Amino acid sequence: MLAPLGGVVEDRARVMQLTSHATTDGTLLRTPSTALGTRAAAGLHVLLPSATLVYNDAIAYGPNLGNLWAGRGTNVLASAGAAYDGRYVRVVVAPEVAHSDNRVFEVLPGLVRGRSTFSSPWHAGVASADLPLRFGTAPITLVSPGQSSLTVRAGAVAVGVSSEEQWWGPGIRNALLLSNNAGSVPHAFLRTSRPLRTPLGAVEARWIVGALTESTFFDSIPSNDTRSLGALAVTLRPSIAPNVTLGVAHSVVRAAPRGRVPASALFDPLTRWRAGAQLDTAARPFSAQSDTTRDADDLVALWARWVFPNDGLEIYGETVRAGVPRQLREWLLVPQAGFGYTIGLQWAGAARARGRLRWQAEVSSVEQTADFAGRALADLYTGAATPQGFTQRGRVLGAATGPGSSSQFVGADWLATGWQAGLTATRVRWENDAMYRQAAPNFFRHDVSLLFGVRGGLLLPHATVLASFEAGRRDNYLFQNGFNNPGGFRTIDVPMTTARITVTAR
């Protein structure tokens, strides 16, 4: 069985960890084939169809949708396939088809010579990233390998190749290092197939090397269209505190000469530790090209999750940093340089005759420090060594809100047998680091979305359904406000609604 990351099955399995002492193994390192609540059936079996539909009435919006870019209009992602599970081998063929209407909506043009007019106007030079505001003017249809994989198991170790989405870290709404926000990254992997029991506790690990692809709306240089991604993550559930899970991960992106990922990229997470880009670029303006003194960009993440099964509670946190401090003094004086974080909690109340109440709250921020006045401080996820940064086909590998952002989310749901329903509130401040690079940054130009929504899910005998509807407004869209607005004296606030439904046969 494959379960969509963040779907109903995974959601219910995570709640069970809070209420019935279910194991927390695998929570911090997940793919659709290893997600919480999935079991691999022996033999050959059909992977029944799954489809997601997203509708946006005004502008593009849709976090954590994998190979689907949710532009304005109707957007659909569909998949089906087959799998074989043997004693030592597992083969999954689960291709996906994604289609976006890509109806017209206002964007600002990219300004860098040699780049697409749809490329980001905020990300060039030492803050460069492949983040188009819109993917052209025509409808988009993409056929991809989707969640396909080949896995060979030998005891507690598994190796293979895959195009599966990955979610690393404890976050429910945002994962700062690797999430399913971007499209699938084809990769080879070495991982634990079950927790390794050691005197210190249960250890799990995942080590990957893959190929990142540039979007078709970035630049016109074919030689840099491919980059390597090397990443390694290790988690520990200590013997003395089995309800705590700790983790550390390191990901490295660098150029792939002639479009080929070198075998040495596998060892990048072990060998390439760079001083934080934030301070390396002190004398470089944002109009400058990428930093030629660096041959790789890296991010380091730390995770922690603590479950209180007797109280129905979990608290979790993740931090990420661009590179490592060059010296202890730097870390003590400016630990926030190149830094991002997520903190969150989930609480499930006591079971009643008809169900239980569940609360969620999560806060994330990758906005950068302003302590170095006059210095060019690169946004998180952007590239000092590679102009595309930490992106795959034009979308961020980590937090769906992207560089320079912060977000807050609260949700309350009633969980009953076979169904659930709830209310949500979401606030996102977009590209706030880029806002301070505008000609006249001021308090009135912050680009902020505020959305209120309803959501629900069904666990039917032969299908699961997850649906949501959100409505709100995006204020000062793309920093367009009447105060010193380069487009004239006007303020652009965009009322917006978005609807999303996922149906998975089982």
Contacts of 400 (CB under 8 A, 6+ apart): 63, 64, 174, 179, 181
Contacts for 502 with CB less than 8 Å, ≥ 6 apart? 4, 7, 50, 51, 52, 53, 464, 465, 466, 467
Q: Please report, for residues 126, 140, 225, 295, 364, the alpha-carbon distance to residue 10 in angstroms, rounded to integers and kept in the order given.
A: 39, 29, 35, 39, 21
Q: Is the Cβ–Cβ distance between 23 and 17 less than 8 Å?
A: yes
- Domain assignment present for residue 359? The answer is yes
Question: Which two tokens mark 492?
Answer: 């652009």
Contact criterion met (CB below 8 Å) for 25 and 193: no
Q: What is the CB-side half-sphere exposure of residue 269 using CA atoms within 13 A?
A: 19
> Running DSSP on this structure, what letter comes out for residue 114?
T
Question: Tokens for 430?
Answer: 């977009």
Residue 298 in domain: yes
Asked if the structure places residue 2 within a domain, the reply is: no
Q: What is the pLDDT of residue 326?
A: 66
- Any domain includes 405: yes
Which amino acid is residue 135, in one-letter code?
A: F
DSSP 19: H
Provide the CATH number for the domain around residue 62.
Answer: 2.40.160.130
Does residue 187 form part of some domain? yes
Strand, coil or helix: 317? strand
- What pLDDT score was predicted for residue 286? 41
Q: What pLDDT sits at residue 338?
A: 84
Q: Do 170 and 202 contact (CB within 8 A), yes or no?
A: no
Question: pLDDT by residue for the chain (506 residues), tens digit each?
Answer: 677 889 999 999 999 999 988 889 999 999 998 876 676 678 898 999 999 999 999 999 999 999 999 999 999 999 999 999 999 999 999 999 999 999 999 999 998 888 999 999 999 888 899 999 999 999 999 999 999 999 999 999 999 999 999 999 999 999 999 999 998 899 999 999 999 999 999 999 999 999 999 999 999 888 889 999 999 999 999 999 999 999 999 999 999 988 889 889 999 999 988 755 444 443 344 444 444 557 889 999 999 999 999 999 999 999 999 877 666 676 677 677 788 999 999 999 988 888 999 999 999 999 987 655 445 568 999 998 899 999 999 999 999 999 999 999 999 999 999 999 999 999 999 999 999 888 888 888 999 999 999 999 999 999 999 999 999 999 999 999 876 565 566 789 999 999 999 999 98
Classify residue 396: in a domain, yes or no: yes
Give the separation between CA 430 and CA 261, rounded to whole angstroms.
32
Write down the residue that tokens 């946004």 correspond to: 379
Q: Which residues contact 197 (CB under 8 A, 6 or more apart)?
A: none
Tokens (6 digits) for 454: 């309803």
CB atoms within 10 A of CB 492: 17
What CA–CA distances, in Å, run from 426 to 183, 361, 471?
23, 10, 10
The string over 167-200, giving b where at least 16 C-beta atoms fall within 10 Å of a residue's C-beta and e elsewhere, is: bbbbbbbbbbbbbbbbbbbbbbbebbbebeeeee
Q: Contact 236/247 with Cβ under 8 angstroms?
A: yes
59, 105 contact by CB (below 8 A): yes
How many whole angstroms separate alpha carbon 100 and alpha carbon 69? 7
Q: Are 479 and 445 in contact (CB under 8 A)?
A: yes
Domain enclosing residue 495, as ranges? 8-505
Q: Would 1 be classed as within a structural domain?
A: no
- C-alpha distance from residue 198 to each of 113, 232, 280, 314 (Å): 55, 19, 40, 24
Secondary structure (3-state) at 211: strand
Please check whether residue 3 lies inside any domain of the structure.
no
Number of domains in the chain: 1
How many helices (DSSP H) and strands (DSSP E) are in the chain? Answer: 5, 25
